[in-house]
């Protein structure tokens, strides 16, 4: 089978935006359908007698893939939910400072601003330049904003609009040395870059499974270090809050059941890991390196078309890459580019699906490419040609 045929993507469109919502392969969706059938054949047995064991199996598989202690890993629907979960569980006080960068994903930044407003804390923003010369620029920008009132740090692993793989191990080490809890927003991490959450050493890490792992939509995880597991509680308080059970951690009892819902996206994560890992002879390391090489090659083509130098060093590139575009006063989008003229022209005239973000604020904007195994070099050549005609 041609690898493109694993996906249901419209063959008439060059889908260069895997990074926004991912795309789930047909064999993974088939596994999810089988799980749904199992659930609906005998719902009571499935939820009451089978679900915990199935969640534990999926948890162990995912924890091994991301290098995490499974006792700290719970499933959530997306990274934004995970971020809200942690922020709502922490007890910030007036005068506390919550540190974030100006590259943070808008939904997550909104959650941080909301937590600050509720508690009287202050959000302090580190401005990381883009373009930038070195990953050291990011570290220096973050550390420059640390004060004796910094009580929490929220940092992207891979930034959304600007597509930078940040030096999180260094940043985590510096925060831990200062006694500052640190949350890593790894929405793009799992499946894009090799992960070892134990080695990273953050207090909290969240990652989406529907993006680069190609699991079904609505599958993500939150990992919490042992020191914080008795503090972090789910957004929805349910039966686990007063369960008398002693055979399972309170953390699992609360997070594994937050009311009736369809858990099959979570339970399909092992299938996604297995199926995506079978697409190339070298498994996941081969797949991640393939996607990164493709992204770097595509980046060179787009830079030539835009007549700009690479906006960041290669070490900060995974399988997405972003490029500054000429300013546009009429670009009002805050996210996926639906109100940007170039975005519309690329889709309507050239059948290229690709995001343009307003960043950091109008009139500045960036274009971002994604590279997944179903993308071909010709698609990026067509993009470069289209950009040359439009700009």
Give the per-residue pLDDT at 2: 87
Enclosing H/E stretch for 190: none
Its sign, for the CA torsion 141, 143, 148, 154, is positive
Which one of 3.40.190.10, 3.30.70.580, 3.90.1150.10, 2.60.120.20 gives the CATH number of domain 3-16+282-390? 3.90.1150.10
CA-to-CA separations, 246 to 240, 242, 250, 252, in angstroms, rounded? 11, 11, 8, 11
Give the per-residue pLDDT at 337: 46
Contacts 24+ apart (CB under 8 A), 242-246: none
**What ranges do the domains of the chain cover?**
3-16+282-390, 28-275
SS3 352: strand
Buried b (16+ CB within 10 A) or exposed e, 184-194: bbbbbbbbbbe
Give the per-residue pLDDT at 161: 97
| DSSP conformation class of 165 | B
CA-to-CA separations, 134 to 131, 169, 295, 310, in angstroms, rounded? 10, 15, 19, 12
pLDDT (tens place) for every residue of the chain, 391 residues total: 689 999 999 999 999 999 999 999 999 999 999 999 999 999 999 999 999 999 999 999 999 999 999 999 999 999 999 999 999 999 999 999 999 999 999 999 999 999 999 999 999 999 999 999 999 999 999 999 999 999 999 999 999 999 999 999 999 999 999 999 999 999 999 999 999 999 999 999 999 999 999 999 999 999 999 999 999 999 999 999 999 999 999 999 999 999 999 999 999 999 999 999 999 999 999 999 999 999 999 999 999 999 999 999 999 999 999 999 999 876 555 554 457 899 999 999 999 999 999 999 999 999 999 999 999 999 999 999 999 999 9
The residue ranges of DSSP E strands in the chain, in sequence order, are: 14-15, 73-76, 97-101, 122-126, 150-156, 182-185, 204-208, 220-224, 320-325, 352-353, 356-358, 365-370
Its sign, for the CA torsion 275, 276, 279, 280, is negative
Which residues partner with 190 through β-bridges? 193
Q: Is 323 exposed, middle or buried (0-12, 13-18, 19+ CB in 10 A)?
A: buried
Q: What is the pTM of this model?
A: 0.96
Its sign, for the CA torsion 202, 74, 158, 334, is negative
Tokens of 152: 């929490």
Q: Read off φ and ψ for residue 33, nearest 5 degrees.
A: -60, -40
CB 366 within 8 A of CB 334: no
CB 318 within 8 A of CB 193: yes
Residues in contact with 78: Cβ distance below 8 Å, sequence separation at least 6, in sequence order: 187, 208, 210, 218, 220
| DSSP conformation class of 49 | I
Give me the CATH topology for the region 28-275. 3.40.640
Tokens of 313: 């060093």
């Amino acid at each position: 089978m041609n690898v493109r045929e694993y996906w249901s993507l419209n063959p008439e469109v060059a889908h260069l935006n895997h990074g926004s919502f991912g795309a789930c392969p047909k064999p993974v969706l088939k596994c999810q359908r089988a799980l749904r059938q199992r659930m609906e054949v005998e719902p009571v047995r499935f939820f009451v007698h089978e679900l915990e064991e199935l969640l534990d199996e999926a948890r162990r598989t995912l924890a091994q893939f991301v290098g995490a202690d499974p006792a700290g890993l719970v499933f959530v629907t997306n990274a934004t939910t995970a971020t809200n979960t942690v922020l709502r569980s922490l007890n910030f006080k007036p005068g506390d400072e919550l540190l974030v960068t100006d590259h943070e994903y808008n939904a997550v930044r909104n959650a941080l601003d909301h937590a600050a407003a509720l508690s009287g804390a202050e959000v302090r923003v580190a401005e990381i330049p883009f373009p930038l010369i070195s990953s050291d620029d990011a570290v220096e920008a973050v550390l420059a904003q640390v004060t004796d009132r910094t009580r929490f740090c929220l940092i992207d692993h891979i930034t959304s609009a600007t597509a930078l793989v940040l030096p999180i191990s260094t940043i985590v080490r510096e925060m831990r040395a200062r006694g500052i809890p640190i949350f890593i927003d790894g929405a793009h991490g799992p499946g894009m870059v090799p992960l070892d959450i134990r080695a990273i050493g953050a207090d909290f890490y969240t990652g989406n499974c529907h993006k680069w792992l190609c699991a079904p939509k609505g599958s993500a995880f939150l990992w919490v270090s042992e020191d914080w597991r008795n503090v972090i509680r789910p957004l929805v308080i349910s039966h686990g809050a007063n369960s008398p059970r002693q055979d399972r951690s309170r953390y699992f009892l609360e997070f594994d059941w937050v009311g009736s819902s369809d858990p099959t996206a979570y339970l399909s994560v092992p299938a996604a890991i297995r199926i995506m890992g079978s697409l190339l002879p070298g498994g996941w390391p081969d797949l991640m390196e393939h996607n990164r090489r493709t992204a770097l090659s595509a980046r060179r083509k787009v830079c030539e078309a835009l007549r700009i130098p690479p906006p960041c060093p290669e070490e900060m590139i995974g399988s997405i890459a972003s490029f500054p575009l000429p300013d546009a006063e009429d670009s009002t989008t805050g996210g996926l580019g639906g109100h940007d003229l170039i975005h519309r022209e690329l889709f309507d005239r050239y059948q290229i699906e690709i995001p343009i973000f307003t960043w950091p604020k109008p009139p500045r904007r960036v274009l971002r490419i994604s590279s997944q195994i179903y993308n071909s070099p010709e698609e990026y050549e067509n993009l470069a040609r289209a950009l040359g005609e439009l700009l």
